[in-house]
Structure 1
């Protein structure tokens, strides 16, 4: 009997989650998002993407010498 209650509760939770709508993908918005995306792209050796994300991050902090250097290297 307990397993039926658990299964019923799980079905209800799954239905509610599905009705809530699709999960949105994360985007690189703001300084921290762009910087984290840049470092991950750099780690994956995707230098074109890293340079683009560093460029986005530099919009928020143009005087950041470390990011300027990383962008130049990427």
Structure 2
């Protein structure tokens, strides 16, 4: 899909993947530091990944892209 056919509020795949990896790494680190069990660690990691994607997507779409 080319950039010209994207809607203006749609984040790129790179940003989404970076948010998943970065948020997941932070979630795993917090799971280790807080010594959580499997279920709580899984939920915390997923929540951190979701927050990471949301923050990076917001940053890319609303702060770094030029508005036409």
TM-score with structure 2 setting the length: 0.31
TM-score with structure 1 setting the length: 0.29
Larger radius of gyration: 1
**Larger relative contact order (C-alpha < 8 A, sep ≥ 6)?**
2
